[in-house]
């Protein structure tokens, strides 16, 4: 990036043009950049675009007097892995809340319910980089999860806390997802495991909360309007636990 005096501005990473200090300690991360823009424009006061490298928008504004950022993660462990690692490691970010959608696997879930990911099982190789002599259990932060659950109870929202399956792929043979459901996975998405591993690696806090946009085994899907309403509940929940 060029500064107005023509000199080159150093930014902490290749993937983010924000300067250190332009990103808040708490960041909401939807997968979709358009969702990041929507959250900034509709839920934050005085939101400013601070990065748009590769169309991955990041905005910083405030909510109830607290500085808050929202940045897209993109899809999958690789993309979430890059952006969340850089936020934690180079931008001084302390808490990241993923606000996403997920496919329901549990028969106890209905469309629009919210799942709080207390744990995230994965078939990705993301943990291989740590060379651990065993299997890592990627976990959501308990304090954040408790606040999220309390919020849902207070507001009477359909909400469950438990294991997500954070997959490498979007398109699976049904029998694979049935096996994860058998082992207790409530819902399938693609980003929480990498997020939780980066939080573990950098000693920071993270939580994924996901609205159920479709039920994998019945094929039921939310209408556009239902998606918008459940999205609103989820964003309000996420903001309530960090402000
Ligand atoms: N997989 C399947 N269904 C979904 C997903 C996913 O990652 N996200 C939202 N619905």
Query: What local confidence, expressed as pLDDT, does residue 150 receive?
Result: 98
Residues near 24 by beta carbon (within 8 Å), at least 6 away in sequence: 60, 66, 67, 68, 69, 93
- Is residue 85 within 8 A of residue 51, CB to CB? The reply is no
Is 232 designated active site? no
Question: What is the ipTM score, two decimals?
Answer: 0.91
Q: What is the pLDDT averaged over residues 74-102? A: 98
Residue nearest to atom 6 of ligand 1 (CA): 189
Query: What local confidence, expressed as pLDDT, does residue 12 receive?
Result: 87
Residue nearest to atom 8 of ligand 1 (CA): 102
- Given the residues 123, 214, 232, 233, select the one marked as catalytic: 214
Q: Is the pLDDT of residue 22 over 60?
A: yes
When pLDDT is cut at 50, 70 and 90, the band that residue 227 belongs to is confident
How many Å lie between the centroid of ligand 1 and the Cα of residue 68? 27
When pLDDT is cut at 50, 70 and 90, the band that residue 198 belongs to is very high
Q: Is residue 142 in contact with ligand 1, taking CB distance under 6 Å? A: no
Query: What local confidence, expressed as pLDDT, does residue 207 receive?
Result: 98
Q: Which atom of ligand 1 is nearest to the CA of 216?
A: 3
How many Å lie between the centroid of ligand 1 and the Cα of residue 28? 19
Query: What local confidence, expressed as pLDDT, does residue 1 receive?
Result: 52
Q: Domains plus CATH for the chain?
A: 26-242 (3.40.50.1580)
Q: Is residue 190 in contact with ligand 1, taking CB distance under 6 Å? A: yes
Query: What local confidence, expressed as pLDDT, does residue 59 receive?
Result: 98
How many Å lie between the centroid of ligand 1 and the Cα of residue 92? 30
**Inter-helix orientation angle 76-90/192-202, to 10°:** 30
The set of long-range contacts for 123-126, using a CB threshold of 8 Å and a minimum separation of 24, is: 123/167, 123/168, 124/77, 124/166, 124/167, 124/168, 124/193, 124/194, 126/77, 126/81, 126/193, 126/194, 126/197
Query: Considering the chain, what percentage of its residues have pLDDT values greater than 70?
Result: 96
């Amino acid at each position: 990036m060029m500064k107005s005096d023509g000199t080159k501005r150093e930014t902490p990473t290749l993937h983010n043009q924000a300067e250190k200090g332009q990103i808040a300690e708490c960041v909401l991360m939807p997968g979709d950049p358009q969702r990041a823009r929507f959250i900034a424009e509709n839920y934050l006061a005085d939101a400013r675009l601070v990065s748009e490298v590769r169309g991955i928008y990041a905005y910083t504004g405030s909510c109830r007097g607290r500085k808050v950022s929202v940045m897209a993660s993109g899809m999958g462990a690789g993309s979430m892995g890059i952006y969340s690692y850089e936020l934690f490691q180079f931008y001084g970010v302390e808490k990241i809340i993923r606000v996403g959608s997920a496919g329901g696997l549990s028969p106890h879930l209905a469309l629009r319910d919210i799942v709080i990911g207390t744990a995230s099982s994965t078939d990705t190789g993301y943990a291989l980089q740590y060379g651990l002599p065993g299997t890592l259990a990627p976990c959501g932060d308990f304090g954040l999860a408790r606040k999220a659950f309390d919020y849902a109870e207070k507001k009477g929202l359909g909400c469950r806390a438990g294991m997500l399956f954070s997959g490498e792929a979007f398109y699976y043979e049904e029998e694979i997802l049935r096996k994860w459901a058998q082992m207790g996975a409530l819902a399938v998405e693609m980003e929480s495991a990498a997020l939780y591993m980066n939080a573990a690696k950098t000693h920071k806090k993270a939580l994924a909360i996901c609205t159920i946009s479709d039920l994998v085994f019945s094929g039921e899907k939310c209408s556009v309007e239902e998606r918008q309403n459940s999205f609103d509940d989820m964003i309000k929940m996420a903001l309530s636990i960090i402000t």
